[in-house]
Structure 1
């Protein structure tokens, strides 16, 4: 993970080492390698949370604005998006089918450790454990076989239970305390929001990218700011925001089209995210100009 996060596998002698090593390998192969895993993980939570906040239709900006039921639904949203970016099918009994094994996906947004609730059908099965701290924009991504000896003795009305404190020592961490893309709106103040939301869709997008360069912004947020069905048209050349910013030497880059260039420029970004940037030197200016991003 290029030193960006802690990967903490289990010891070779651990009972679950072989199973979890295979699951990690299957996940990384499915997503396209560790670099792709890092980029997708960075944008994974941002896209899911932004879609549920739904700024364009609700006028809300933050995770704290969500209803309790919406926060609960996020677990399902994470599962759906994870299945999509892994490109694997749903299992018969559990959430994923990967490498010939059914795998359950458990998510918590609780600040406390071990907030995952394991249902009876996932007992002794492989699980992906996801923990999200939206306030800090940090996440954990772990693997475990939910053996009975790792679980708490008590259960709730649905017979679900969690990992005990001792049981949590049996998690294989693919990413620990990983920094994902923060909510862009948390970086703005009232004056910024007022300025960004002035004018038509193209002008809004141009103002956004001129004011907030080097900051990854999810495709979902771009749609909210443009407030138009054809929001991608508001970014492109030919009367889009790029026509306003390119003469100023500001490029708008998109991870799905400009990934190699963004990596070469050393930008940090997630899947389906935009970053605007001004070249720091003549070499970067030549790169951006040759790609027709600046004039």
Structure 2
């Protein structure tokens, strides 16, 4: 058995880059420039460095995933579930572009997806291991966001995606992936792997899920079981709506579960919409702002200074 042929060296700054032809636009060959000497890239990078990218991207990714799952209608809460097909999973990237623009107070405008400091920027997001760069994004500044649904995390880079740093193989639309070695050498990290907000429903075992999502049981009964299974776990409104998918007024049903949660499980159910509950939860180290809920054990209710 003979060894496979060695890969050609990755084009480096000073080498010539020739973009793929694109109808209606002249694409000229040019010299590759190192990121440190790319003035436009550095300007955009500096702007992003002063922006709240961790908060903005986390909210954008979480919102895009929840939008695709549509839990309040479908009862789905895990993007990696067999109930979510591959096309839906891939659509997170498309939804995410607009949410990032909104979070960073940017507008959608040509010639690419947006402009930062007057510099055109392409936004590409993926839930896979690579980004597919269209011909119009070749040799342009690209903000690359990667979502890892299985690991519940995301990260981002800024890179001028020169054609020379893209893969030779293209898909049917002419899009090309980023060469992994080029990403390592020539992309500027914007955000390292960052966790997404936890989805507490993922903590349930299959038998527990069968109870919480039992089709013939009432909402109040199922929510009572949910809070009993997950004491001292903050439950966002979206999780409650997912459990009660397709039903009306799930928050009222959650309120009705308060005495049942206390009587059956010995837990104190608190809701972030009520000031007294919010203050009590906050004093015990639980942030239930934004309509979140938590069922506290007697031990968790003890004031920290007296514990």
TM-score interval (norm. to shorter): 0.5 to 0.7
What SS does the aligned partner of 1:14 have? helix
Q: Secondary structure of the residue that 1:94 maps to in structure 2? A: coil
Aligned-residue Cα RMSD (Å) equals 3.9
Distance 1:217 1:160, change over 3 A: farther
- Structure 1 unaligned segments of length 5 or more: list them: 1-11, 286-295
Unaligned runs of 5+ in 2: 1-33
TM-score relative to the length of structure 2? 0.66
Identify the residue that residue 146 of structure 2 maps to in structure 1.
131
Deviation at 1:213, TM superposition (A): 4.0
Q: 1:175-233 CA distances to partner (integer Å, 9 max, x unpaired)?
A: 22222134433321232223323644345444433432454555433222123343344
Q: 1:160 aligns with which of 175, 183, 187?
A: 175
Q: Larger Cα Rg: Structure 1 or Structure 2?
A: 2
* Count of residue correspondences: 256
Question: Which one of 95, 113, 117 corresponds to residue 113 of structure 2?
Answer: 95
* Alignment correspondent of 2:97: 79
> What does residue 21 of structure 1 align with?
45
**Residue in 2 that maps onto 1:172:** 188
Aligned to 1:251: 270
Establish whether residue 196 from structure 1 lines up as the match of residue 212 from structure 2: yes
Describe the shift of the 1:230–1:23 C-alpha distance in structure 2 as closer, same or farther (beyond 3 A). Answer: farther
**1:141 maps to what in 2?**
156
- The answer as to 2:137 corresponding to 1:122 is yes
SS at 1:75 equivalent: helix
After TM superposition, give the deviation of residue 119 of structure 1 in Å: 0.8
- In structure 1, C-alpha distance between the alignment counterparts of 2:283 and 2:169, rounded to whole Å: 52
**What secondary structure sits across from 2:133 in the alignment?**
coil
Name the structure 1 match of 2:238: 220
TM-score, normalised to structure 1, is 0.68
The question of whether the paired residues in 2 share the 8 Å contact of 1:151 and 1:164 is answered with yes
Higher relative contact order (CA 8 A, sep 6+): 1
Distance 1:102 1:282, change over 3 A: same
Instruction: Give the distance between the partners of 1:172 and 1:183, measured in 2 at CA.
Output: 30
Shift of residue 240, structure 1, vs aligned partner: 4.8
Q: Residue 157 of structure 2 contacts residue 188 of structure 2 at CA under 8 Å; is this kept in 1? A: yes
User: Do the aligned partners of 1:43 and 1:272 also contact (CA within 8 Å) in 2?
Assistant: no
